[in-house]
Each structure stands twice: as structure tokens, then as C-alpha cells.
Copies of this chain bind each other. A is one copy, B any other.
């Protein structure tokens, strides 16, 4: 379109800048910049001339130079374990959607759950002057590198991991309540022996304490641990005993042991009547093993999982699950982040909300994988 036959276009020259626009409009650089940027004053006439010149030249402001001056890059960072994971890519979409509305863009970096990669990512993103950071931290204890980011005045929101004790805003699902609710459902259907199968971070093995009247799990708030807590809470609330043998916590980096854990549960002298699988990997392992062994769901074994995946409605029976919306979590985290970015450095004066915790509700989707237990139905 920029067909300007008379003028010789330098062709190989880069994109036009304010100076070019100013020259064409016959005004100074500052005036052109003001007219274009929409700040300061400029007369109607000059405004039009400049706008026209910019249009003709196909002028587009250089964000890099703008960042240099203003310190605002209109870029945020998203640091997660693996963007190809369905949870993170959905969250990413939520983040992108909010960012688009805010005129911002998102740089993604993967950590593969390695602290060193996370530290590198934080450093790199800081050097690019990102306006903010959304992160799913590998560790909830080791967060010096995250503190360095906030220390540099860059807002951070933690996604799916609780870091609010460290004064960092977090957006998490109501893992404990969602799980408790699901277990409650199982109990309501007559199940007394309910197995819990979940993953845990290898570096932070949970300390499970099972007392006569109370059971608890020590350690920080993390989805994997909070779900165990929800399980314990629901059993306690119903006056059911907590049995150690019904709880399997498999290190996240040893996927091969998931199937073993399910098999061990089935091999128990007094096996459970229902399996609660606390994450999608475990749900898949459990479903696969039950299928292979020809164990009828829910006839011989009930199954209830955390996290919804496409396949849970394609297999027969359809699997009942607790769903968390990764998309909504991403949106919420981004919304919170941009609020902090916009906030005029909430440090001075008002006791600013540091370490705010936003909880996204989960939903229970009842399908067909949970059966009714009538009486103590030992030995079929």
C-alpha cells in the first residue's frame, strides 16, 4: 500500500521512526511523539498531520526503545514445568487472553521441575525487563531467586503452588476442599475403605502422622499434600479410620512405580472398594491396570480421579472426576499480576496486601465410575 512513487525509499533501511514521521509532518520529534503517544498537548491540526504521516509511512512505535525509557516492556513471563502439559498450556491460554486485553505479551520458559532451570529463567526474564512474572515454582521452600525478582520491583504471582507465606501472591485450586468433597461422595455411596493414590515431590517427602483420633500431614501447602489433607479430613469427619496401607504416595519422578502402587493396593489382604487417584497420571495408571486385569468398574472397584482429561468421557464407564480449570487459574493469576503492575508501587503507606491467596473452586463431575456399596460385602 505505501505507494509513494515520487520519493526514493531507502529500501534496505529499517522501519520508520518518530524522526521520519516528524520530518514528513513538518514538526519536531517531540511533537510527533506526543501526537502519536497521546500524551501531552497538541493542536488538532498538528495531530492530524502527524497521524497522516505515520499512516503513510507505516510507522509503528519501537517497543524496545520505549521499554528502555519507560521501564515498561509490555511483556510478562510465565515459568512452568512443561508447556506441552495440558494443565500448563490451558493456564497459558488464560494468561495470554488477559495479557492481550492489557496490551501485553507472554514469554514462556520451561523448567522440567529443575530448580536450576527455574533460577536461570528468573534471571533471564529479569534481564528482559518483564513487567511481571507468573510462576509455578519447583520448590515452595527455595525461593531466593523469586525474592530477587520481587526485590527488583517486578511483581510475581505463583500459580498452582502456595507461596503466600513468603509474601508472594498465589493462585491455587481448592485442592483440600475439592478432595474432601469427593471422598465425602464416596463415603455417601457406602465406601469405607477408600485408597488414596497420589504423587509427591521427591525432594519434599511428606511426613504423614496418623494418630488415634487425628491424622495429619506435615509440610507446606502444595496441591499434592493438600489433597492428602482433604482425604484425611473427609475420613475424620465421617468417623472413619485412617489406614496407612490405603495411602500410596509415589515420587513424581518415578512414573514406573505408579502402576506398582495400584497393583499393591489391589493385592491387599483387605482391599479397598474405591480408588481415589489424586492426579491425572495416577488416574490413567489405575484405569489402565483395572482394564488389563478385567476388573469391572464400578462393579468390582470404584474409581474417582482428580483432574479432567478428554479420555475420561470416552472410555466406558466414564470416569467421575474433580475438575480444576487451569484456564481460569491462568486468567486469575494474570488478572492479579496486572493489578499489581498497575498499582502505584503499593509499598508506601497503606498496608499493602502481600502474599494474597486466591482460591479457584473445583467442581465435582459425577459420571459412572463410582458404585454403591450396600453392606460389608466381603468375598463377593
Contacts and interface: CB of A to CB of B under 8 A. Distances in A.
A83 B93 contact: yes
A349 to B, nearest CB: 15
A82 B107 CA distance: 15
A352 interface: no
Contact of A288 (B15, B63, B126, B314): B314
A153 B14 contact: yes
A110 B93 CA distance: 8
B84 A73 contact: no
Given A90-B84, A315-B311, A75 B15 contact: no
Contacts of A62: 127, 129
Interface string A285-312: 0011001000000000000000001110
A364 interface: no
Given A105-B128, A107-B105, A96 B67 contact: no
Interface in A313-331: 314-316, 327
A238 interface: no
Interface in A55-73: 60-65, 67-68, 73
Contact of A93 (B82, B107, B284, B316): B82
B64 A128 contact: yes
A108 B92 contact: yes
Interface in A259-299: 284, 287-288, 291
Contact of A15 (B89, B109, B152, B314): B152
B127 A63 contact: yes
A166 interface: no
Nearest to A330: B84
A105 B96 contact: no
A108 B83 CA distance: 11
Interface string A131-174: 00000000000000000000011000000000000000000000
Contact of A92 (B15, B83, B100): B83
B311 A107 contact: no
Contacts of A106: 107-108
Contacts of A310: 284, 309-311
Given A14-B152, A83-B89, A311-B310, A107 B64 contact: no
A240 interface: no
A125 B64 CA distance: 11
A24 to B, nearest CB: 19
Contact of A64 (B67, B105, B288): B67
B15 A126 contact: yes
Contacts of A64: 64, 67-68, 73, 128-129
Contacts of A83: 83, 89, 92-93, 96
25 contacts: A14-B152, A60-B123, A60-B127, A62-B127, A63-B128, A64-B128, A65-B68, A83-B83, A83-B89, A83-B93, A84-B92, A84-B93, A84-B327, A89-B92, A93-B110, A96-B109, A96-B110, A105-B128, A108-B108, A284-B310, A284-B314, A287-B314, A310-B310, A311-B315, A314-B314
Given A105-B109, A107-B107, 9 more contacts: A15-B152, A60-B123, A63-B128, A64-B67, A83-B89, A83-B96, A84-B92, A96-B108, A291-B314
